[in-house]
């Protein structure tokens, strides 16, 4: 199984809603990532978890709250978002200490904030 | 300036070869990657090259690395309409687990 699975694929929410994005992998990877991607732009790193601990937070606003309940799951909790937060949110995973270090990406969750 | 630079657009005819170029600035980069992104989809890893190699071939894909000039290229032989996508090069710097992406090159293949 070389897949990273993200749910939901599409999400529309109002600025007062609370929702969550979910990500799952069963490759035994111990690093998991959240990226944000706007249209026609490269992915921008948001968070990195290593061994289920938050290791990198790229100065992301607190209305985005990541959670890594176990080594296979990564969540992104959303609250009081703004319309400019509308984007494709990509989850990725990789081996830690692996030789090649490639990231495996999910298909993304497309978020629209009204 | 950007750490990883790519030309933004390339248009080719079906059956031709495509060459997508990338330059990076960090000489400590250990691995360099090419990802493909189709519309509305995630990023698919196509291939990667270790910084001590100068060429890697994988079926229709050939990666060339000029470490002296910090230049990376991806050649797609016999380009097909299904190859139309955005191609991102990315570098992994020594000691880092994260990747730095270029802005992406949109490849358009016409019949």
pLDDT digits (tens, 9 = 90+) for A35-78: 999 998 999 999 999 999 999 888 899 999 999 999 999 999 99
**pLDDT score at B1:** 42
| Closest chain A residue to the Cα of B37, Cα to Cα | A107
Query: What pLDDT was estimated at residue B2?
Result: 52
Cα B61 to Cα B32, B44, B56, B108: the distances in Å are 14, 14, 8, 17
Does A101 contact B31 at a Cβ distance shorter than 8 Å? yes
> How many beta-carbon pairs below 8 A join chains A and B?
55
Cβ atoms of A20 and A77 within 8 Å: the answer is yes
Tokens found for residue B53: 């190699």
Q: What is the pLDDT of residue B44?
A: 94
Question: How many Å apart are CA A87 and CA A77, to the nearest integer?
Answer: 15
Which chain B residues are within 8 Å of A48, Cβ to Cβ? 97-98
Q: What CA–CA distances, in Å, run from B101 to A70, A99, A104, B37, B94?
A: 28, 19, 14, 13, 15
Please tell me whether residue A83 adopts helix, strand or coil conformation: helix
Neighbour-count burial of B58, counting CB atoms closer than 10 A to its CB (0-12 exposed, 13-18 middle, 19+ buried): exposed
Percentage above 70 pLDDT, chain A:
97
| pLDDT at residue A96, rounded to an integer | 81
Closest CB to A90 among B42, B48, B50: B42
B50 touches A: beta carbon within 8 Å: yes
List Cα–Cα distances, A78 to A44, A60, A108, B97, in angstroms. Answer: 17, 12, 15, 25
Of A33, A48, A101, the CB nearest to B92: A101
pLDDT at B97: 73
Between chains, do A106 and B45 touch, taking CB under 8 Å as contact? no
Q: Which of B35, B50, B97 sits opposite A96 (nearest CB)?
A: B97
Interface check B108 vs A, CB under 8 A:
no
Residue B32 three-state SS: strand
- Residue B28 near residue B93, CB atoms below 8 Å: yes
From first to last of its 111 residues, chain B has per-residue pLDDT tens of 457 999 899 999 999 999 999 998 887 778 899 999 999 899 999 999 988 889 999 999 999 999 889 999 999 999 999 999 999 999 987 767 788 899 999 999 999
What is each CA distance from A74 to A101, A106, B30, B102, in whole angstroms? Answer: 19, 12, 27, 25
Average confidence (pLDDT) over A80-108: 91
Model confidence at A1: pLDDT above 70: no
């Amino acid at each position: 199984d070389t897949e990273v699975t993200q749910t939901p694929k599409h999400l529309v929410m109002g600025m007062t809603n609370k929702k969550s994005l979910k990500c799952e992998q069963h490759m035994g990877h111990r690093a998991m990532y959240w990226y944000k991607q706007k249209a026609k732009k490269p992915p921008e790193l948001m968070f990195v978890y290593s061994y289920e601990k938050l290791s990198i937070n790229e100065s992301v606003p607190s209305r985005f709250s990541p959670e890594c309940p176990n080594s296979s799951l990564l969540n992104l909790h959303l609250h009081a978002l703004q319309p400019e937060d509308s984007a494709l949110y990509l989850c990725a995973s990789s081996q830690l200490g692996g030789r090649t270090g490639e990231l495996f990406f999910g298909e993304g969750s497309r978020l629209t904030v009204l | 300036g950007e750490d990883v630079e790519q030309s933004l657009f390339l248009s080719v005819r079906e059956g031709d070869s495509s060459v997508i170029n990338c330059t990076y600035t960090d000489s400590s980069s250990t691995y360099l990657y090419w990802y493909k992104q189709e519309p509305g989809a995630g990023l698919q890893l196509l291939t990667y090259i270790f910084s001590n190699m100068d060429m890697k071939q994988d079926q229709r894909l050939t990666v060339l690395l000029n470490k002296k000039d910090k230049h990376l290229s991806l050649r797609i032989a016999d380009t097909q309409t299904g190859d139309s996508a955005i191609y991102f090069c990315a570098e992994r710097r020594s000691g880092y687990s994260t990747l730095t992406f270029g802005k992406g090159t949109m490849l358009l293949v016409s019949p």
